[in-house]
Structure 1
Amino acid sequence: MPQEIGLLTDLQTLSRFVIGTRAGSGISELKELNNIHGELLISNLHLVKNVEEAAKANLTGKRFIQRMDLLWRSSLEVGPKSHGTYVQHEVLARLRPHTNLKELSINGYGASAFPTWIGDAAFSNLVTLRISSCKCESLPPLGGLPHLRNLYISRMDHVKSVDCSFCGTDLIRFPSLEKLHFENMPNLQAWHGDDDNCSMPSLRELVFKDCVDLRQLRHNLTSLTKQTIEGSPLFIGLRKFESLKHLEVKVESEWIWDSWPCLASLFSLKLSCLPTRKMPSGLSRIHTSIQHLEISHFYQLLSLPDDCLPRGLTYFSISHCPHICGLPTGIQLLKALEDLNIQDCKNITYLPELENLTSLVRLEISGCQSLSVLPSLPTTLQFLSINDCPKLSQNCKDERNPDRVKITRIFSVWIDKQHVVSSSFESHNI
């Protein structure tokens, strides 16, 4: 940073302030810069050794700043001895911003607890809060922030559980919160919620990503419509969320099958990386509401039972399942299916006949090197794409092959990224 930047009292744009060790480069240079608009990132806060110097920064007086990022060097790397945790706490206590703030990010803070202004209901304009790589053992009470809509918590290695102290003590807690993400929390094991006093009435999206020790989610979230769980192999299963419509599970574990009866209201389901060898039978009878289903990276999957696909599917995708040999004949019962995608299933040798799928308009097949024959196709099909399927591609281009006839009436056909004109099989590159 330029030395003595604090003399530029009319400065309106300062997106980043890097604290240095030279004279004229400390955080107190911000004292008179009260006309800064927009966003301000303050880095190297671990260099602030004088609490009063932090107070001189006068962040409370900067009413035009809408987004603020406060960055210490990661406490996970530095450790408590490099800079006293008490000092860090007192520094952050004096870096309270103006209540006009809409977005706040705190990264690398090394003390064991947050100052009381974090979560103060006076921050009525705060919409987005990010807390990352901090050394605290518990989360601050944030439920009193009246207009907080997006909350992202990541790399909090010392947090082992979340309970309702996180929700605060207000009568209505997290009244506006819509998105809540927990990511890269290696020691987080459980969220013990209070269904009566902390309902999170507006929460729509909940994400747990790379929380490898997560086991339990005990909270009734009545408004939840979308949930993602990625990288939590020890999780014991989902509870029933009446409003849940979209679920994504990416985990090397099979707990999802035990949770299957709790997911009756789903519209969309994405499953990835499960070690399943054979999907359970009878799944189609439970989940008639599912319309969008994606199965990917099931590296041990050998087969799909005939009755595993929900009858109401409009979209079905299966990809990166190298050992599966074919699709179930039950797919012929999916009268509502509009879009079918088969990708990187190198051992698939056959597909069931599809001519009775009277809603199918789009079919994409790629990376299926063992597949050589197209099934019968419905007259409704409008788009066909075949890529990296050398046997099948050759047959579809051969005028003497029956597969050529199957695609002549399709409006748009693409083979190996070339658009094939069905009448004469003229082609051109994309």
Structure 2
Amino acid sequence: MEQIVLAPLLQVIFDKLANPVLQKFADYWELEDMFKKLQRILPLVQAVIQDAEEQQATDKSIRIWLSQLKDAAYKAEDLLEEFTYMQNYKPSLIPEALSQAKHLRTLLVYSEDGLLEVPSDIFSSFIYLRVLDLSGCQTKLPQSICDISLLRYLDLSNSHFDELPSGISSLCYLQSLNLFGCYNLKCLPSMVQITGLRHLNIFGCEALAELPQRIGMLVHLQTLPIFIVPIRLRKQDKWIRIKGHSLLPARLSELKHLNLRGELKIKHLERIDDVEEAKSANLRNKEYLESLGLCWGNKGEDLIMNPSSEANVARFQERKHHVSGPSEEPETHATTSNQDSAGEVLACLQPPKNLKKIFIVGYPGIGFPHWTLPNLTEMVLISCRVCVQLPFIGHLPLLRSLRMEGMDNITHIGPEFYGEHVVSFPSLQELFMRDFPSLRDWLIPNGKEIFPKLSKLVLRKCPNLVSLPLFLSLKHLEIQSCRSIILNSTEELTLLSTLIIEGFDDLSSLPPNLLRNNPHLTCLTIKSCPRLQSLGPDFGCLTSLKSLSIQWCEELSLLPKGFENLNALECFVISDCHSMEILPGNPLGGLRSLQILSIENCCCLSSISVGLQYLTALKHLTVMYCPNLAGLPDSLEHLSSLLSLAVISCPLLECLPEGLKHVKTLQSLEIRSCQRISDLPEWLDCFASLRTLAISELPNIKSLPVAVRRLTKIQHLSIQECPHLQRRCQKERGEDWWKVAHVPHKYISSSQQQ
């Protein structure tokens, strides 16, 4: 019987605890007390272990205990290895030796992992620095940053600090301060001394509740993407702030003398109770302003007015923690009095004539002012739920995009929307309408040409609308959560390239001429139509169709006639069609251009036809959540272009088809939650191009085939929730470790990365 020897392993652990690198890790994470305790206890444990090792031959219980302890010791060793790794890759530090560069003008600090620590006195030497980028700073900024008196540009974006050093206002030559994505920042210091400041980016500073008083004195300021209207303070509150040397908030009137450019979003306009204050903001004379957002309540918190900012916004939203702040205030509900005052406030916030984009969010008034905006290209109206009439905008010559959401009280669209010109909305290309619960009629004035260039219409949640005007130029049509009768208005369209139909509870079949009249359709999506039984007899005419997705159509049992004629089809997704029992060979056999086939959650599907053999262009095949599917066809051997195969949650599947071994192009194979699979095939090494192998939740697989060792191009191996394999593939000591040791990137079990 093999003896269990633990003493040498415990000595290794003891030596690692004394490692200076690990000591630094304990210091950094405040774990030094725990590490010291371990160092005291381990010698005592070693003595007990040595005694137990001598008795294990005669005492079975001691042997079991040693075996369990051995596993725990290996895990402890792995954990210490991970701690050492973390210490070596701790947050980046600015090297103090850099302070010798006395005449440095530009310092851009890049941290690969986005974590940056700043020594407290590092900047005292950089008196000539002009440009400093510390984006990604994790903690407090050092006060020494205020010693860089000649600094012109300071980037602190995507940082975690909650306040700026108070002395930052002494940087009187500063021209640009970037605080984008500093979502913990709660307040700004007084900036009145930074008289040359031109750019102050506070987009994404979600905890910021107000701006400092006298910001309006920064007459050179050009960039200020957000202005927050403060809560009006009572006299006693003002006195308390003054007495405590706290800053008073900036009022909207401070915008008066600022010559802002680019975009400006004004938040919490419901806090204005003085129309004169709105008028004094002097928006109409800010001729270089291009984009304006006017927001009531909290609906404007996530409003992105500049599409180029979306990637940055997504980045900081992934990283941010929950912060309490103004966004947690209750939503403002309109009363009769603030309906009237909101209308007056909006009228006084008249934008400049050169404005290109306007966003109005949460507006509680009943109507819109008549503004002259000849250069407007985009308008967005969101959650204007009290409005009874749409704005008078049909005459705007350059308007290309119009988005309207949450208009509860709009019952009809009529002449007041189009205006008096013969051609209404002459340049409009995109119209998006969502959540119009009361809209019943969409009227067309006699003798008018409307939307002559409209190419994209998205209509969602208009449950009472029964018809649409005829938009002959339409190429993209998306209709969601409406009554099926509205589709009758689309039969005369002839130029559609994209059609999306979703959320029709009463739709049993598509209108007869909708597909027939649109032979140039390239993308068709049909979702959440639970009563749909037929896609019509004219499916075969869609010879230009490249993408087809059919999802959540529970009563659809057959693919439509003519399906085999879709010679241009490249992507086909069928999901949650629970009446579909078989995918027959003939329809699939004609799809010679098909590159992506995904069959998902079809609970009655028991067979996939041999027609797959004709899909010689197929690159990606996914079969998932099909509980009655007993097997895949052997005809997979003819899929000469297949790059990836994923088989997920098919509990009746017992093995991979042997014909698959002839697919030499396969690069990725994933098998998950197929409980009857008990072995991976020995011919796995036939996949000479395989780079990724992922298997999970296959409890009956006892070991890996030797063929895995012969997969010379494999880069990634993932084994999750496979208890036998997890044990056998343990680093260095598992029986199958030698089969997987050559794989560069291994992920074994749910918690261990090797």
The TM-score range, normalised by the shorter chain, is 0.7 to 0.9
Which letter maps to 2:337? H
Matching of residue 151 in structure 1 with residue 402 in structure 2: yes
Q: Which runs of 5+ in 1 are unaligned?
A: none
In 2, Cα distance between the equivalents of 1:19 and 1:167? 34
User: What's the counterpart of residue 514 of structure 2?
Assistant: 262
Matching of residue 47 in structure 1 with residue 271 in structure 2: yes
Aligned counterpart in structure 2 of residue 65 of structure 1, from 283, 289, 297: 289
User: What's the counterpart of residue 246 of structure 1?
Assistant: 498
Which letter maps to 2:410? V
User: What's the counterpart of residue 412 of structure 1?
Assistant: 690
Tell me the SS of whatever aligns to 2:389: coil
Q: Which has the larger radius of gyration?
A: 2
CA contact (8 A) 1:269 1:292 kept: no
C-alpha displacement of 1:390: 3.2
C-alpha displacement of 1:338: 4.5
User: What's the counterpart of residue 600 of structure 2?
Assistant: 319
Greater relative contact order (Cα < 8 A, sep 6+): 1
Tell me the SS of whatever aligns to 1:130: strand
Tell me the SS of whatever aligns to 2:710: coil
Aligned counterpart in structure 2 of residue 229 of structure 1, from 463, 479, 502: 479
User: What's the counterpart of residue 470 of structure 2?
Assistant: 220
Distance 1:237 1:143, change over 3 A: same
CA contact (8 A) 2:478 2:500 kept: yes
User: What's the counterpart of residue 302 of structure 1?
Assistant: 580
User: What's the counterpart of residue 624 of structure 2?
Assistant: 343
Tell me the SS of whatever aligns to 2:563: helix
Distance 1:222 1:236, change over 3 A: closer
C-alpha displacement of 1:82: 6.1
C-alpha displacement of 1:7: 3.2
Matching of residue 81 in structure 1 with residue 360 in structure 2: no
C-alpha displacement of 1:139: 2.1
If each structure's helix is expressed as a fraction of its own residues, which one has the higher value?
2
Deviations 1:116-160 (A, max 9, x none): 11xx452x1x33221011021232233333333332211112223
Deviations 1:62-88 (A, max 9, x none): 122222110112799544426332322
Tell me the SS of whatever aligns to 1:166: helix
In 2, Cα distance between the equivalents of 1:414 and 1:260? 46
Identical aligned residues as a percent:
27
Tell me the SS of whatever aligns to 2:438: coil
Deviations 1:167-217 (A, max 9, x none): 4343443333333222333334564557984453433332234x0615534
Q: How does 1:100-119 map to 2 (within 5 A)?
A: 100-117=354-371
Q: How does 1:353-392 map to 2 (within 5 A)?
A: 353-356=635-638, 362-375=644-657, 376-377=659-660, 379=663, 381-390=665-674
User: What's the counterpart of residue 437 of structure 2?
Assistant: 186
CA contact (8 A) 2:430 2:454 kept: yes
In 2, Cα distance between the equivalents of 1:294 and 1:194? 42
Distance 1:217 1:346, change over 3 A: farther
Deviations 1:246-304 (A, max 9, x none): 23333253627323641243222233333222344425278666543323344x33335
- State how many pairs are aligned: 416
Tell me the SS of whatever aligns to 1:83: helix
C-alpha displacement of 1:319: 2.2
- When structure 1 is superposed on structure 2, of 192-201 and 88-97 the one drifting more is 192-201
Aligned counterpart in structure 1 of residue 571 of structure 2, from 292, 295, 299: 292
In 2, Cα distance between the equivalents of 1:43 and 1:69? 8
Deviations 1:228-259 (A, max 9, x none): 33333655425233222223333253627323
Tell me the SS of whatever aligns to 2:409: coil
In 1, Cα distance between the equivalents of 2:265 and 2:669? 47
Aligned counterpart in structure 2 of residue 15 of structure 1, from 225, 230, 234: 225
Q: Which runs of 5+ in 2 are unaligned?
A: 1-209, 239-248, 300-329, 531-553, 697-704, 712-738, 748-754
In 1, Cα distance between the equivalents of 2:356 and 2:619? 42
Distance 1:374 1:417, change over 3 A: closer
CA contact (8 A) 2:263 2:290 kept: yes
In 2, Cα distance between the equivalents of 1:321 and 1:10? 63
Which TM-score applies when normalising by structure 2?
0.49
Tell me the SS of whatever aligns to 2:276: helix
Tell me the SS of whatever aligns to 1:28: helix
